[in-house]
Amino acid sequence: MSTEKKADFSGVSATVDSTEQKAADFSGVTASVDSTEEIVGATTYTIEKGDTLSKIAKEQLGSASAWKQIFEANRDVIDDPDRIFPGQVIKLPPKAPSA
């Protein structure tokens, strides 16, 4: 027989509250969404027969090449910049400042 003492685990105890994971607490989380209207501006234009985005850009914004900004501002209503229809109401971006 061995004379070595064996470890005494008689005073050891353990508890487990739960193995279930607690849900994350999002009560302190806040979010805000900026409106594209604030960025684009509140100016609208109703498309008429014979209009093109470049014609509208020249007349309303002073530069025919601004048609791209009009298209980007209206991706929600214009799928193809070459296909606009009379009666469509589009948002106009603000005019670029004159140099």
In this structure, what CATH number is given to the domain that contains residue 79? 3.10.350.10
- pLDDT of 95 over the 50 cut: yes
Band (pLDDT 50/70/90 cuts) for residue 22 is: confident
Average pLDDT value for the chain: 83
**pTM as predicted:** 0.57
Q: Supply the pLDDT for residue 40.
A: 46
Assign residue 50 a region: left if phi > 0, alpha if psi is -120 to 50, beta otherwise?
Answer: left
Work out how many domains the chain is built from and give that number. Answer: 1
* Domain extent at residue 60: 36-91
What is the DSSP code (8-state) at residue 56? H
- The dihedral over CA atoms of 62, 63, 67, 69, expressed in degrees to the nearest 10, equals -80
Which of 5-9, 26-30, 36-40, 61-65 is the most confident on average?
61-65
Buried b or exposed e, range 86-95, using 16+ CB within 10 angstroms: eeeebbbbee
- Per-residue pLDDT, averaged over 77-90, amounts to 95
Confirm whether 85 is domain-assigned: yes
Is 8 domain-assigned? Answer: no
> Would 99 be classed as within a structural domain?
no
Q: Is the CB of residue 47 less than 8 Å from the CB of residue 84?
A: yes
The pLDDT of residue 16 is 73
For the segment 26-54, the average pLDDT, to the nearest whole number, is: 77
Mean pLDDT of 65-87: 95
Full DSSP string of 2-45: --PPPP--TT-------SSPPPP--TT-------HHHHH-S-EE
Say which residues have a Cβ less than 8 Å from residue 59's Cβ, sequence separation at least 6: none
- Domain presence at residue 11: no
